[in-house]
Amino acid sequence: MKPVNIGLLGLGTVGGGTVSVLKRNASEITRRGGREIKISAASARDISRARLCNTQGIRLTTDSFDIVNDPDIDIVVELIGGLSPAKELVLAALENGKHVVTANKALIALHGNEIFAKAREKGLMVAFEAAVAGGIPIIKAIREGLAGNTVEWLAGIINGTCNFILTEMRDKGRDFADVLSEAQALGYAEADPTFDVEGIDAAHKLTILASIAFGIPLQFDKVYVEGITGITAMDVNYAEALGYRIKLLGIARRAGNGIELRIHPTLIPERRLIANVDGVMNAVLVKGDAVGPTLYYGAGAGAEPTASSVVADIIDVVRTLTSDPENRVPHLAFQPGAIADMPILPISEVETAYYLRLSASDQPGVLADVTRILADLGISIEAILQKEPPPGESQLPVILLTHKVREHDMDQAIARIEALPTIGGSVKRIRMETLG
């Protein structure tokens, strides 16, 4: 049987890792896929550059469209990232009758609905395991392994840069800006780290996870996104003193009146396994009605961990090359006609518990005024931590942990607290999840 020819778009970190894994494990991959899988062509901006992977036997080109238009290519693997020309290349590959494998989370989150529609029209597959959580096979776990469950919620640490920063802040008492500089020096964060630290990268991934978990269209624009730039070493230390860890968490949950989709810093009880995922590692916790909570942990980025998912997708495509398109696993886990456009809740309608830090005058009655405001809005307090004021200052830090309350009510409470003459500055709010 003739080999399956792969056209690789991009020879960067993940592209190079994919070449290395495919070549090193060639015999094992052939045994699993049933056919020899061969990279016959690859594109890169500079094909004269020295590379860590062995490109011997691979036709190199600077023109990616040359690959998607090559009649001998069976599967196009898109690893260039970004939205353009990635979108145009993927759609051209599908138009030319080629299956597609991609690690591009932004492309899938923003244009996946259009891309999957084109793939269905052409009877082709688009595989995207590597788009979320690097080497962790979380797409396959939810889409296939948990197919017998109603997924109730999922929560994920799905950005290694933010997790590294928060881990360093906790373990070494360092400030955000200081750790961010180190993350950039180590290559964990880009020169412009906005996508990571403002939560946008994690929101792309959550969009995809929510769609396959709940059978809803990809809706990146409806995700509530809040990054970690406002988290201070003080908050990290106070959370630790109260038995919590702060993580940037992506949360997707079925609620009575819709779906919650949110990315934000979150206090998690330190006894939870996911609270102990440190450094650049990723983890996703999924709660199914039949199986209960399941945790998936591993490297969320890197050349070979991500290549592991890319190659697994290639093998999946090869296994189904001769199958009836109607009997393949659907792109978003549910049959296309069963995708339900359930409402996505605005953050104001979400119910969660809160960590509140306020700066209060060191005088009688201040705490009573604050608790009265909370009580008037039906917000009950779980714990209070009052610290001594810093030397030479008259304002003391007060930390409150609340029980679950609707965000709209908490907005009102914070506005009233901030209006008190005895409260200095703004109230710091961090949402809390028990993940029980």
User: In the 3-class helix/strand/coil scheme, how is 163-220 assigned residue by residue?
Assistant: HHHHHHHHHHCCCHHHHHHHHHHCCCCCCCCHHHHCCHHHHHHHHHHHHHHHCCCCCH
The per-residue pLDDT string of the chain (436 residues; one tens digit each, 9 = 90 and over) reads 789 999 999 999 999 999 999 999 999 999 999 999 999 999 999 988 888 899 999 999 999 999 999 999 999 999 999 999 999 999 999 999 999 999 999 999 999 999 999 999 999 999 999 999 999 999 999 999 999 999 999 999 999 999 999 999 999 999 999 999 999 998 888 889 999 999 999 999 999 999 999 999 999 999 999 999 999 999 999 999 999 999 999 999 999 889 999 999 999 999 999 999 999 999 999 999 999 999 999 999 999 999 999 999 999 999 988 677 777 888 877 888 888 889 999 999 999 999 999 999 988 889 999 999 999 999 999 999 887 776 767 789 999 999 999 999 999 999 999 999 999 999 999 999 999 8
pTM of the predicted structure, to 2 decimals: 0.95
Active site residue 118: no
Catalytic, out of 205, 247, 287, 428 = 205
Q: Cα–Cα distances in Å, from 386 out to 97, 172, 359, 362?
A: 65, 23, 10, 11
Domains and CATH numbers, the chain: 4-134+303-338 (3.40.50.720), 138-299 (3.30.360.10), 347-432 (3.30.70.260)
Residues in the chain: 436
* Spatial separation of the C-alpha atoms in residues 91 and 148, rounded to whole Å: 32
